[in-house]
A and B are shown apart, each in its own frame.
Chain A
Amino acid sequence: MKLYCLSGHPTLPCNVLKFKSTTIMLDCGLDMTSTLNFLPLPLVQSPRLSNLPGWSLKDGNAFLDKELKECSGHVFVDSVPEFCLPETELIDLSTVDVILISNYHCMMALPYITEHTGFTGTVYATEPTMQIGRLLMEELVNFIERVPKAQSASLWKNKDIQRLLPSPLKDAVEVSTWRRCYTMQEVNSALSKIQLVGYSQKIELFGAVQVTPLSSGYALGSSNWIIQSHYEKVSYVSGSSLLTTHPQPMDQASLKNSDVLILTGLTQIPTANPDGMVGEFCSNLALTVRNGGNVLVPCYPSGVIYDLLECLYQYIDSAGLSNIPFYFISPVANSSLEFSQIFAEWLCHNKQTKVYLPEPPFPHAELIQTNKLKHYPSLHGDFSSDFRQPCVVFTGHPSLRFGDVVHFMELWGKSSLNTVIFTEPDFSYLEALAPYQPLAMKCIYCPIDTRLNFIQVSKLLKEVQPLHVVCPEQYTQPPPAQSHRMDLMIDCQPPAMSYRRAEVLALPFKRRYEKIEIMPELADALVPMEIKPGISLATVSAVLHTKDNKHVLQPPPRPAQPTGGKKRKRASDDIPDCKVLKPLLSGSIPVEQFVQTLEKHGFSDIKVEDTAKGHIVLLQEAETLIQIEEDSTHIICDNDEMLRVRLRDLVLKFLQKF
């Protein structure tokens, strides 16, 4: 069993598991942090961005000044943003049989895999994962396509040139594999390969293994996966949460008794407690708005935003913010808000019960109804006529490189009354802000990551007790900035096996058993013989038939009538002979009694030696040696077949035959 690690990002995993003749891809996350190296795509012409100076080498050579621009001491690529794809060379991706998706954030590379690698398999995901994943992809495509950029930079990627660039461009990895965003057509084609599944549904893969999604508690429809055969069980845990937020709670019990547990998608900010961060978010929001400033919240169109809106719903009246408009701007804002209300079966118990009242499970419905929350596909159109300040705007993209957020950064960045509050943990907020510097607006970092922290992981592992844990290498040591925090790493016994990008791990367990069925008529013909109380044995003569990874013992065909004139005879044609079978032997030989028997039969001068595995009985006179071990007995005598047969018969007296 092998694990091919195609992504080095611990929360955007892409691994391939080879297990019992199946090839299973676990998630296909897309690392979008590469976009931080690019200039933002302004929705409205930005004189500031278009007038940034080109970058030139120290010696004054300016051949890159079309591709690279300088802003407040940082250098950015002036081109359509590109994404860092999972490794495509490590394994032939056309051999992947299935792709299992754990949540909508971990499927953003799907079109790259399904459309460009010869993939012919099936993708499994829950319905909310697919639908919200579609929204995320649609938003991404929309953000990038609506600001067409003529220029595409590639010169800087040349290895010899990249060396000369300043950090972080110099250190960017795998730049040659960076790709532009996919198209909507590719998205649709990729999503058409998805087969929808429900929690705890058992899906047979070629009869060899069974895969089952389990609720992971992190997002609508988010799953962990169990991959099991009759005798082996692999759990894949990716993006799970034990906090009480909107999704169904995590199913931990089903993860018990795993041989291997692959653990990815833990919280990216283990030191920030989500509750504290939500408080921080609300306080800073209220402070800014009370001072007459605007609040900008760069966010994804689904996920934490639902929880934030719910907190604000409870908070705004108490904070005296009832008159402040909340705007949610995204090409998919409407769908996201409405989808969240219809996936009742995927929600936590509290929200599920509301549906029966009937009430919308999320209170943002009420915010919309009372006109406190308004949503728009884009800042063009209705929004510009409704826009009132001070206000709170939720919009994407959290990288601040594309989407409507770019416009608001340009618009509000100059006033210290305004605040941008970062809640998504995927991007470094300082890097995200770099192309907007110098910036007067206040920046608050309240990353809200509800995924498991290390304390919860340690409890989980104690609870489910897997034999082996496999995780990204980042989880096996404290974060570099807090090297004394031994609590910020996975601590388990035996120590977790770690992987990094482009590594192949041989998973540490041996397959020892295979399930074989016996046909009823064959089973009827068996004659068991009890050799110990409770244990019976029977000899079986049968044909082992293997098809679709299922093994069946069938009765042997009747001895074929000799037809004569056979020309070919191959081993595979050999039907087991039904001639008299040698009996099977069982039991053990007590050495002392055996020696006595030998003496009784006229052997003398017998010597017994103890060996590591048993005994050697030496018949010195006969120059013969009988080697008795637990599972074999050898009689070694030179050229005296008579003697050997006599001795063999003496040995057989001590054994049972059947």
Chain B
Amino acid sequence: MDPECSQLLPALCAVLADPRQPMADDTCLEKLLDWFKTITEAGSSLLLLQENPCLVELLCHMLKPQDLSSRVLSFSLRLTGVFAAQEDCFQYLQQGELLPRLFGEAGPLGGAAWTAPTVRSGWIQGLRSLARHPSALHFLADCGAVDTIFSLQGDSSLFVASAAGQLLVHILGLSMQGPADGPPSLQAGDWPACAQKIVDHIEESLRSAATPQITQALNVLTTTFGHCHDPWTRVLWVRLSPLVAGLLEKDPVPAAHSLVDLLLSVARPQALRAQAFAVLLQPLACVLKATTQAPGASGMVDGTAGDSVTVDTLLPSKAACVGLLCRTLAHLELLLPLPQRPCPWPQASLLGAAVTLLQLCQGSASPTSDAGRHLCALLLGCVRVQRAALDFLGTLSQGTGPPELVTEVFAVLLEYLRSPDSSPTVLKKAFQATFRWLLSSPKTPGCWDLDPQALLFLRELLPVLQKRLCSPCWEVRDSGLEFLTQMTGRWGGQASFRHALLASEVPKLTEQLLRDPESYVRASAVAATGQLSSQGLCVSPASPEHLGGQQKSPLSELLHILSTDSEGFPRRAAMHVFTQWLRDSHADVVGDTEEFVAGVLQVASQDLDWEVRAQGLELALVFLEQTLGQPGSPCPYAVTPPVVAPARPLAQALQPLCRVRLFEFAFRALFDCDRPVAQKSCDLLLFLRAKTASSSSPQEARISPDVASVEAALQRWQAGDQAQPLGDLEPEVVLAVLRSMDLEGLRGALAESSDHVEKSPQSLLQDMLATVGILGENEADCY
């Protein structure tokens, strides 16, 4: 700790200990704690306490009966934990009986302060910090803390309850680290006392009839197995699995979702996996059964799924039904990509269930039983389930399915895309799922084109997309355009796709949406136009019957947007498109690349949006790389190979950069008021300097009057006066200026966050004292 802080600390401790000086802002306490954590991580806590006795005084002060604020008390408990994490410091605090008095029965635990959740939370976090060494374990056992933690698992505050569970996991792990000679046996006597106590408690909870207790135990186990894979956890599982298996046999299964979480986190229990999976699948089996006539046709779960009684138990009310189905779908979605997912994976049944679920929500399913009709009434028009089911359906596209089911998938997706009742968010998910299914549709070997079925689907899809692009709801137009961009990016080069798209109104509508009143839509239209134009799919200009009369090229359309659009999003999108076009050597750009780059940079440099300026630097970098002959990310599909000119003299190579005024743009950006722009420019110039360093020649290094005037201008720029332009720059001058600039220093300065001064601990302490008026600034006014 630096001396300035040491000096301020006693006053601060006095403020904290004084109940009459309420600490208004508790984020200060958090920052203070963070600071102490940093100090103790770097050095000895014991030394810190010895050098700053005020700290121990503060902690001792907490033991006196008084009206301390619960925040300060909580802070002190946590601070004690931070100090006691080091064993020598722990011993030091033990000697003063400070620890048992703070964390034992005599402390806040027995007092009125305990009613405040923040104090209970502080108590738990303090223990969590100090429980790092064997001495701490003895302490925990002696002061009876473990029993208190057990009871806190059911605390009314969710934060406290959750922290208590995690603390148990931590203590269990710590106590099992002790015995070094391999994992313990199954015998109870073999386990360290503390661990034994916790495991006994878990066993007892698992046998309990009360679901909350079972849930608590399951959560502790889930966290344990999720975080730790030491050999002892395997023994623990062997010991507890009969109890867990017992839970699975109950009907209904208690705390089903916590149980599933546990079984998912334990990759080992092969035997139970199928059973656990069945529990997870039960709601979907009900759904599937709702519309199938033949018993057992579900292929998922036999038995009672789909009976009225089961449906009533599992899915009694709309809220319960929706909640359970959404959780189930989310679980399955997470499970799907995992290597330990159950095998065989019932892909077909899950597909069927997802399709049925979507149909039930839409009212297009035909339920075959009363339970089915009940489900239908509950789910009709439910947006949450629709969204979850569409996400899930999209994820299922990674696997295959029987062809007739895949046909059904496309049919239900089309139904959603067509339905006037699909909400904008549902529609967006439907577009996403559709794209994923199109991606996964079977491909003819050696050909990237869409298969006949997908193509047939596409022909039906395009009129729908067309209509969606005319929707009065901007979110719908927006997601329609995003979908189009994705589709074009993927299949834009394929003949059948091109044919279908060009036969539709979609390209024309996209062009019209560049003038949409909603800026997000314009931005998406810019991206879509960029993609369409890259693939040569834009509408042919100036068709005589076109309403708007003459039509501009996509390039001039986007340039117009970049220079005139009042919103940032479309302009950013235009810059992204331009950068991509330059990278891909787009036909419109290749014609006169220099004019293109010069034009774009000029507009971008005046943009008020820093992201546009930053993107301008990205474009400048691409041009720079292409000019200097080292493409950063070579594009294998580029029509023309990047210009490679290693043999040219450097000055000549830099000429194009000067002609497009790239340096003026970069230097201006270097002193940009927005840090990311300045950083990016700095990186670009450093990159350029590195490139040119090797090939520098003596005559370029001379100091000319030009250089001096440029440097003078730059100094004025840095001071904030950017009115004067740099004028035409010669490559030699640029190189000289670059070499003379302290770019590394600038980069260092930019890397420091703007509030680095205000974030210092000294400033924090001063602020805290200032708020309670200790620093005396205001004292003179008091008379």
Q: Give A residues with C-beta under 8 Å from B.
A: 271-273, 276-280, 282-284, 286-287, 290-292, 311, 314-315, 317-320, 323, 446, 482, 484-487
Chain B, 366-407, CB within 8 A of any chain A CB: 366-367, 372-373, 376-377, 380
Contact with A along B462-496 (1 / 0, CB 8 A): 00001110111110100000000000000000000
Q: How far is the CA of A282 from the CA of B367 in the complex (A)?
A: 34
**B380 partner residues in chain A, CB cutoff 8 A:** 487
What is the distance, in angstroms, from A270's C-beta to the closest C-beta of chain B?
10
- Contact partner of B420 among A272, A287, A311, A314, CB < 8 A? A272
Q: Which 4 A-B pairs have the closest CB atoms?
A: A276-B420, A286-B470, A283-B470, A280-B420
Q: Give the interface centre of B372, B373, B470 by most chain A CB atoms within 10 Å.
A: B470
**B366 partner residues in chain A, CB cutoff 8 A:** 484
| CB contact under 8 A between A484 and B420, given known A317-B517, A320-B515 | no
Q: How far is the CA of A317 from the CA of B512 in the complex (A)?
A: 12
Determine if A487 and B376 form an interchain contact, defined as CB atoms under 8 angstroms apart.
Answer: yes
Q: How far is the CA of A7 from the CA of B362 in the complex (A)?
A: 33
| CB contact under 8 A between A271 and B512, given known A276-B420, A279-B473, A315-B472 | no
Determine if A290 and B505 form an interchain contact, defined as CB atoms under 8 angstroms apart.
Answer: yes
B contact residues, total (Cβ < 8 Å): 31
> Beyond A290-B547, A320-B515, A484-B373: 15 further Cβ-contacts under 8 Å?
A282-B472, A283-B468, A283-B472, A291-B505, A314-B472, A315-B472, A318-B474, A318-B518, A320-B512, A482-B363, A484-B366, A485-B363, A485-B376, A487-B376, A487-B380
**B516 partner residues in chain A, CB cutoff 8 A:** 318
Determine if B421 and A276 form an interchain contact, defined as CB atoms under 8 angstroms apart.
Answer: yes
Determine if A287 and B367 form an interchain contact, defined as CB atoms under 8 angstroms apart.
Answer: no
Q: Give B residues with C-beta under 8 Å from A.
A: 363, 366-367, 372-373, 376-377, 380, 419-422, 466-468, 470-474, 476, 505, 508-509, 512, 515-518, 545, 547
What is the distance, in angstroms, from A453's C-beta to the closest C-beta of chain B?
11
Q: How far is the CA of A284 from the CA of B377 in the complex (A)?
A: 30
**A485 partner residues in chain B, CB cutoff 8 A:** 363, 376
Q: Give the interface centre of B421, B466, B474 by most chain A CB atoms within 10 Å.
A: B421
| CB contact under 8 A between A287 and B472, given known A276-B419, A317-B517 | no
**A277 partner residues in chain B, CB cutoff 8 A:** 420
Determine if A283 and B517 form an interchain contact, defined as CB atoms under 8 angstroms apart.
Answer: no
- Contact partner of A282 among B377, B422, B471, B474, CB < 8 A? B471
What is the distance, in angstroms, from B524's C-beta to the closest C-beta of chain A?
14
**B422 partner residues in chain A, CB cutoff 8 A:** 276
What is the distance, in angstroms, from A534's C-beta to the closest C-beta of chain B?
45
Determine if B508 and A486 form an interchain contact, defined as CB atoms under 8 angstroms apart.
Answer: no
- Which residue of the partner chain A has the closest CB to B467? A283
**A484 partner residues in chain B, CB cutoff 8 A:** 366-367, 372-373, 376
29 chain-A/chain-B pairs, Cβ below 8 angstroms: A273-B420, A276-B419, A276-B420, A276-B422, A278-B472, A279-B420, A279-B471, A279-B473, A279-B476, A280-B467, A282-B470, A283-B468, A287-B470, A290-B512, A292-B545, A311-B472, A314-B472, A315-B472, A318-B516, A318-B518, A320-B547, A446-B420, A482-B363, A484-B366, A484-B372, A485-B363, A486-B373, A487-B376, A487-B380
Q: How far is the CA of A278 from the CA of B471 in the complex (A)?
A: 10
**A446 partner residues in chain B, CB cutoff 8 A:** 420
**A315 partner residues in chain B, CB cutoff 8 A:** 472
Dominant secondary structure at the B interface: loop
What is the distance, in angstroms, from B160's C-beta to the closest C-beta of chain A?
39
Q: How far is the CA of A279 from the CA of B473 in the complex (A)?
A: 7
What is the distance, in angstroms, from B3's C-beta to the closest C-beta of chain A?
66
**A486 partner residues in chain B, CB cutoff 8 A:** 373, 376-377
Q: How far is the CA of A279 from the CA of B512 in the complex (A)?
A: 19
- Contact partner of A319 among B363, B466, B470, B505, CB < 8 A? B470
- Which residue of the partner chain B has the closest CB to A323? B547
**A278 partner residues in chain B, CB cutoff 8 A:** 472
Q: Give the interface centre of B422, B471, B472 by most chain A CB atoms within 10 Å.
A: B472
**B472 partner residues in chain A, CB cutoff 8 A:** 278-279, 282-283, 311, 314-315, 318-319
**A283 partner residues in chain B, CB cutoff 8 A:** 467-468, 470-472
Q: How far is the CA of A317 from the CA of B467 in the complex (A)?
A: 17
**B476 partner residues in chain A, CB cutoff 8 A:** 279
Q: How far is the CA of A282 from the CA of B469 in the complex (A)?
A: 11
Q: How far is the CA of A284 from the CA of B547 in the complex (A)?
A: 18
What is the distance, in angstroms, from B519's C-beta to the closest C-beta of chain A?
12
- Contact partner of B466 among A279, A287, A314, A482, CB < 8 A? A287
- Which residue of the partner chain B has the closest CB to A491? B377
Determine if B363 and A271 form an interchain contact, defined as CB atoms under 8 angstroms apart.
Answer: yes
Q: How far is the CA of A341 from the CA of B184 in the complex (A)?
A: 87
**A319 partner residues in chain B, CB cutoff 8 A:** 470, 472
Determine if B470 and A487 form an interchain contact, defined as CB atoms under 8 angstroms apart.
Answer: no
Q: Give the interface centre of A290, A484, A485 by most chain B CB atoms within 10 Å.
A: A484
What is the distance, in angstroms, from A587's C-beta to the closest C-beta of chain B?
53
What is the distance, in angstroms, from A452's C-beta to the closest C-beta of chain B?
16
**A323 partner residues in chain B, CB cutoff 8 A:** 547
What is the distance, in angstroms, from B566's C-beta to the closest C-beta of chain A?
15
What is the distance, in angstroms, from B523's C-beta to the closest C-beta of chain A?
15
**A292 partner residues in chain B, CB cutoff 8 A:** 545
What is the distance, in angstroms, from A389's C-beta to the closest C-beta of chain B?
12
Determine if B377 and A287 form an interchain contact, defined as CB atoms under 8 angstroms apart.
Answer: no
Q: How far is the CA of A276 from the CA of B467 in the complex (A)?
A: 13
Determine if B467 and A284 form an interchain contact, defined as CB atoms under 8 angstroms apart.
Answer: yes
| CB contact under 8 A between A287 and B467, given known A323-B547, A486-B373 | yes
Determine if B517 and A318 form an interchain contact, defined as CB atoms under 8 angstroms apart.
Answer: yes
Determine if A273 and B421 form an interchain contact, defined as CB atoms under 8 angstroms apart.
Answer: yes
Determine if B471 and A287 form an interchain contact, defined as CB atoms under 8 angstroms apart.
Answer: no
Q: How far is the CA of A287 from the CA of B512 in the complex (A)?
A: 12
- Which residue of the partner chain B has the closest CB to A446? B420
- Which residue of the partner chain A has the closest CB to B521? A318
| CB contact under 8 A between A290 and B508, given known A484-B366, A487-B376 | yes
- Which residue of the partner chain A has the closest CB to B513? A320
What is the distance, in angstroms, from B547's C-beta to the closest C-beta of chain A?
7
- Which residue of the partner chain A has the closest CB to B424? A279
Q: How far is the CA of A277 from the CA of B516 in the complex (A)?
A: 22
Determine if B505 and A287 form an interchain contact, defined as CB atoms under 8 angstroms apart.
Answer: yes
Determine if B377 and A487 form an interchain contact, defined as CB atoms under 8 angstroms apart.
Answer: yes
What is the distance, in angstroms, from A314's C-beta to the closest C-beta of chain B?
7
**A318 partner residues in chain B, CB cutoff 8 A:** 472, 474, 516-518
What is the distance, in angstroms, from B472's C-beta to the closest C-beta of chain A?
4
**A291 partner residues in chain B, CB cutoff 8 A:** 505
What is the distance, in angstroms, from B362's C-beta to the closest C-beta of chain A?
10
**B508 partner residues in chain A, CB cutoff 8 A:** 290
- Which residue of the partner chain B has the closest CB to A485? B363
Q: How far is the CA of A486 from the CA of B370 in the complex (A)?
A: 10
- Which residue of the partner chain B has the closest CB to A285? B470
Q: How far is the CA of A384 from the CA of B376 in the complex (A)?
A: 53
What is the distance, in angstroms, from A198's C-beta to the closest C-beta of chain B?
36
- Which residue of the partner chain B has the closest CB to A282? B472
**B474 partner residues in chain A, CB cutoff 8 A:** 318
What is the distance, in angstroms, from A375's C-beta to the closest C-beta of chain B?
23
- Which residue of the partner chain A has the closest CB to B548? A320
- Which residue of the partner chain B has the closest CB to A483? B366
**B512 partner residues in chain A, CB cutoff 8 A:** 290, 320
Q: How far is the CA of A130 from the CA of B286 in the complex (A)?
A: 54
What is the distance, in angstroms, from B370's C-beta to the closest C-beta of chain A?
9
**A482 partner residues in chain B, CB cutoff 8 A:** 363
What is the distance, in angstroms, from A486's C-beta to the closest C-beta of chain B?
5
Q: How far is the CA of A255 from the CA of B620 in the complex (A)?
A: 71
Q: How far is the CA of A485 from the CA of B374 in the complex (A)?
A: 10
Q: How far is the CA of A277 from the CA of B419 in the complex (A)?
A: 10
Determine if B419 and A290 form an interchain contact, defined as CB atoms under 8 angstroms apart.
Answer: no
**B515 partner residues in chain A, CB cutoff 8 A:** 320
What is the distance, in angstroms, from B371's C-beta to the closest C-beta of chain A?
12
**A272 partner residues in chain B, CB cutoff 8 A:** 420-421
